[in-house]
């Protein structure tokens, strides 16, 4: 690996652009490539000129000259770009954790990393206590529940709009209740947290999820409840939404940047 970590960023939407803004001052890493579909080249080049002037805008991750791939583009990008990079031996950081709700996809991702002799890291994203939950699993977990509460506008363009007018809601309304696998499948842009919690704990099918549209809140509110041999905990987080995309918490961007910096830091926590 070179003295400066050479990075390919997959995606340059709200999350990717916010990451580039935060990474400008990092001297130990360099954005060498920004990978987007061809129809996004013009807009991405404008962003690159401002935030990552040394980056090439490409439609695929370069085969050589890249030390780390960071995915911030959605679920399809993992299949198209992360899996091939892993198989070549390039480590990857994945933000779209909800993609692993698809049957067999987590195993597919793991197999690609094994084949390439490398590692794929899933970020915690908008939720905390993932380390505690994963540790508690070692001793044995009995129940894990995730409750996601967001303003009605955060659920626009999702199945929550079926049969209801989100703009007209006057009280908190449960829009989904079921397993984490179902939640991440139906609400992929809103329920990455549910997938992260389940992968750290009891798994996608045994983690209970409730999603709520609440006109009384302005923030994205995440609650995780767990109990097991370790005891129990309840975590509540009230996250500010990302200004460029209210479906995403700003903490998701910070989590991705933290994971990236931890890859190269001499001391990481």
The question of whether 222 is a catalytic residue gets the answer: yes
Strand ranges inside the chain, DSSP E = 5-10, 29-35, 56-58, 68-71, 92-94, 120-122, 141-150, 173-179, 208-213, 220-228, 231-239, 241-242, 245-249
Residue 214 DSSP one-character state = -
Strand 141-150 and strand 56-58: pairing? unpaired
- Structure-token pair, residue 194: 């549910």
C-alpha angle 14-18-21 in degrees, rounded to nearest 5: 145
d(CA 57, CA 37): 10
Alpha carbons 250 and 200: distance in angstroms, whole number: 21
Tell me phi and psi for residue 242, to 5 degrees.
-65, 130
User: Active-site residue among 32, 81, 181, 222?
Assistant: 222
Angle at 242 between CA 96 and CA 4, to 5 degrees: 60
Angle at 211 between CA 236 and CA 175, to 5 degrees: 155
How many degrees, rounded to 5, is the angle at CA 243 between CA 258 and CA 168? 130
CA distance 6 to 9: 10
H/E stretch holding 134 reads helix 130-139
Catalytic residues, by residue number, are 222
């Amino acid at each position: 690996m070179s003295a400066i970590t050479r990075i390919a960023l997959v995606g340059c939407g709200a999350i990717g652009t916010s990451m580039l803004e935060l990474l400008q001052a990092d001297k130990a890493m360099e954005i060498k490539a920004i990978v987007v579909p061809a129809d996004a080249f013009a807009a991405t080049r404008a962003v690159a000129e401002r935030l990552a002037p040394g980056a090439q805008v490409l439609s695929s991750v370069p085969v050589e000259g890249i030390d780390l791939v960071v995915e911030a583009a959605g679920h399809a990008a993992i299949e198209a770009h992360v899996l091939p990079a892993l198989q070549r031996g390039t480590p990857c950081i994945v933000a779209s954790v909800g993609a692993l709700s698809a049957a067999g996809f987590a195993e597919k991702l793991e197999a690609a990393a094994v084949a390439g002799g490398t590692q794929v890291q899933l970020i915690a994203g908008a939720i905390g206590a993932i380390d505690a939950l994963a540790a508690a699993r070692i001793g044995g977990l009995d129940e894990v529940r995730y409750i996601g509460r967001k303003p009605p506008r955060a659920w626009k363009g999702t199945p929550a709009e079926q049969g209801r007018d989100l703009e007209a809601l006057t009280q908190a309304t449960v829009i989904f209740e079921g397993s984490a696998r179902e939640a991440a499948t139906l609400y992929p842009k809103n329920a990455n947290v549910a997938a992260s919690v389940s992968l750290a704990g009891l798994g996608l099918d045994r983690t209970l999820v409730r999603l709520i549209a609440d006109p009384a809140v302005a923030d994205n509110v995440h609650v995780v409840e767990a109990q097991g041999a370790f005891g129990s905990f309840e975590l509540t987080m009230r996250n500010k939404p990302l200004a460029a995309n209210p479906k995403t918490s700003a903490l998701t961007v910070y989590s991705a940047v933290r994971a990236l910096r931890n890859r190269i830091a001499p001391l990481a926590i």
